[in-house]
């Protein structure tokens, strides 16, 4: 039954798409891939970059931070007119670091959004 239906198909239905149609389909597929790449990779990275810059601009004296080198430190003060911050590593050790090397602000409060199963 299936074989007879295949033989019954007309030549117009079995004809390959023209070169122009094939080129448009290929172009459309490339365009879809570019849009997916932008939405899945570039947009989230831009959002994280904006959030990180907002965090850096919002740093204040006394904030606990994590540096790119892995140091947990406290912000001592900002250097005016420069992209630098003086951080206190503890024990009286103060270091000047670039703001861009601050990875994140560390909260002292424990996270309470995890449900206990006790």
Task: Kindly give the parts of the chain with pLDDT less than 50.
Answer: none
- Asked if 22 and 39 sit in the same domain, the reply is yes
10: how many CB neighbours lie within 10 A of its CB? 7
Structural domain boundaries, residue 37: 16-57
Distance between CA 74 and CA 88 in Å, rounded?
A: 5
- Asked if 40 and 21 sit in the same domain, the reply is yes
Q: Is residue 88 part of a domain?
A: yes
- Asked if 53 and 85 sit in the same domain, the reply is no
- Asked if 31 and 45 sit in the same domain, the reply is yes
Distance between CA 48 and CA 91 in Å, rounded?
A: 33
- Length of the chain in terms of residues written: 118
Q: Is 15 helix (H, G, I), strand (E, B) or coil?
A: coil
Q: What is the pLDDT of residue 18?
A: 83
Q: What is the pLDDT of residue 43?
A: 96
Please give the model's pTM, rounded to 2 decimal places: 0.65
Q: What total of structural domains would you count in the chain?
A: 2
Distance between CA 74 and CA 3 in Å, rounded?
A: 77
């Amino acid at each position: 039954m299936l074989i007879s239906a295949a033989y019954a198909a007309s030549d117009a239905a079995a004809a390959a798409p023209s070169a122009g149609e094939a080129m448009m389909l290929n172009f459309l597929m490339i365009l879809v891939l570019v849009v997916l790449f932008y939405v899945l990779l570039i947009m989230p990275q831009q959002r994280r970059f904006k959030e990180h810059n907002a965090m850096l601009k919002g740093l204040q004296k006394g904030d606990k931070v994590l540096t790119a080198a892995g140091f947990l430190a406290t912000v001592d003060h900002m250097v005016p007119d420069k992209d630098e911050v003086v951080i206190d590593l503890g024990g009286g050790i103060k270091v000047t670091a670039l703001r861009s090397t601050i990875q994140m602000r560390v909260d002292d409060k424990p996270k309470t959004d995890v449900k206990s199963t006790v």
